[in-house]
Chains A and B, each alone.
Chain A
C-alpha cells in the first residue's frame, strides 16, 4: 500500500455515514442488497478493496432458517475476470472457513487471518499479506449479531494494518446500521400491510354483518306490522282481548327492532370512524339552530322534560352539519342517560376563532378515574338510565370534534353532575 493509498483510506474513513459515494457501474451484489439501500456503503467497501485488497464479502445472518445461517448478501472482486467467474458460478467460493465466520459472529470481535503476525491485540492471528483477510462482525444497536464483513486478498499491504483494520470495522459498523434500518423498515412495512389488511377485513366483516342483521330485522319489522294489520278488529267485543294482546306484542316487536336497528347503526358508525379518514363536507352552519334542531327531537319524544339552551341568536361557522349534529346528539344522549331526569343546560359561546359548547347534566356525576376510559369505545359509566347504549357516544363525538380540529373534554363532580365541553374552531382546518 502506498502513502497515497493511506491518505485515501483516511478520506474514506472520514466519509462514514455519508451516502454520496459514487456507486459507479454497480457491484455484482444480489438484488436484496440493492433493495436494502446499501449501494453507498458497498461502494465504499469496493474502494477499500481497490486500495488495499482484492475482494470483500458481506455475510448476513438469515434468521428465517433454524438454526440461523450466514448467507452471502453482497460481494466484489477487484479483478474483473475473477468477478465474472464468481458471477457465473453464482457467487464466490469458500474463501473464509465457516468456523471463522461463526467465531467472529459469536465473539463480536474483529480478526485478521493470514500468514504473518497480528498488528494489534484485536487480531486473532497473522497479519495482512498473502491470503490475508479482515473479518469484522456486524451487530445491531442492541448488540445482536447480524452478519460479518470480510475484506481480503492476496495484495501485499506493507502499510498500516491497524488503520486498515479500523477502516473495515468502521465499514462493518455502517453496514450494520444500514442493515438494521433496512430490516426495521421491512418489519414496519410488513406490520403496516398486516394492519391495512386487518382494517380492510374489519370493514368487510362489519359491512357483511350489519347487512346480514338488517335483513332479518326487516322481516321481523314487516311481520310485526302485518300482525298489527291483521289483528281482529277491536270493535268486535268478542275479540277485544285478543286484539289488545296482538297489538301489544306487535308493539314490543317493533320496539325491539328499533333498538337493534339503532345498535347496528352505531356499530356501522364506529367501524366507519375507526377505519377511515373522515370525509368532511364543511359548509356555513348556524350552530345555535343546529343544537335547537337536535333538542327538538328530544322534546318531541318526551325523553327530556327540562332543557335550557343559553346561546346568542346565531353562532356561524364552517362545519360538516351531519357530523356535527351527530357529535352534539351523542353528548345530549349522555346527558339524558346520566342526568337523573334533572334539568340539562346547554351553553354556547364564541369568539372570532372558535365556539364553545357546554352540555351539563345534574346527575350523579362520574368518578374522575373513569373519565379517560369513557372516551374509549364500548365503555359505559354507572348510573345510566338507558340500556340502549353501546358505550361509543363519547368516542364518536371526540373523533368527530377532533376531525374538525377541535377538542372535547369532560368534567364531573360526584353528586353534582357532568359537563362536556366541546371547542370547535370556526373553520375546519
Chain B
C-alpha cells in the first residue's frame, strides 16, 4: 500500500501494554496510517466519541477497567460506531462463543508478525 493511500486512514489501537501499543502504532505510522491509542475499553470508547471516527479498530481483549468484550458490546450498541470493523488482537484462544459474540473481521494471535499485521490492516482498509 502506498503512503498516499494510507494517510487518511485512522486506526484505533486498544492495548493495555504500553510498549506493545506504541510498537504497533509506530509500525502503522511508518506505513502512513494515522493511529489513535487507548489502554482499555473505556478509553477506547472516549476516543470514539471525542476524536475522528477510525476506519478500523485493533482490539486486545484482556484489559483492566473495561475489557474487550464489554467494549465491543458498547461499540455495537452505538449506531455511529457499530459498523467500524474490528480486528481482535489477543493472546487468548477464542472459543466459538467468543467469535460469535465479538464478530471480528479478523483475529490476530499474539505474538504477531509485522508483515501479518500490515497485510491484515491493508486488506481491511482496501476492502472497506
Contact = CB atoms under 8 A, between A and B. Distances in A.
Contacts, number: 65
Interface in A222-239: 222-223, 225-226, 229
B111 to A, nearest CB: 4
Given A207-B92, A210-B91, A216-B17, A223 B23 contact: yes
Nearest to A230: B30
A118 to B, nearest CB: 72
A221 interface: yes
A211 B62 contact: yes
Given A257-B111, A261-B111, A222 B92 contact: no
B93 A222 contact: no
A222 B62 contact: no
Contacts of B62: 208, 211
Nearest to B17: A215
A217 interface: yes
A221 B92 contact: no
A226 B110 contact: no
A219 B20 contact: yes
Interface residues of A, number: 22
Interface in B68-106: 90-93
B110 A218 contact: yes
Nearest to A208: B62
B26 to A, nearest CB: 7
Given A211-B62, A223-B23, A217 B92 contact: no
B57 interface: no
Interface string B45-61: 00000000000000010
Contacts of A218: 17, 20, 23, 91, 110-112
A218 to B, nearest CB: 4
A282 B22 CA distance: 43
Nearest to B108: A218
Contact of B20 (A208, A211, A213, A222): A222
Contacts of B111: 214, 217-218, 220-222, 257, 261
Contacts of B91: 210-215, 218
Contact of A215 (B20, B27, B93, B115): B20
Nearest to A212: B91
Contacts of B15: 215
B23 A214 contact: no
Q: Which 6 A-B pairs have the closest CB atoms?
A: A214-B91, A214-B110, A225-B114, A211-B91, A217-B111, A218-B111
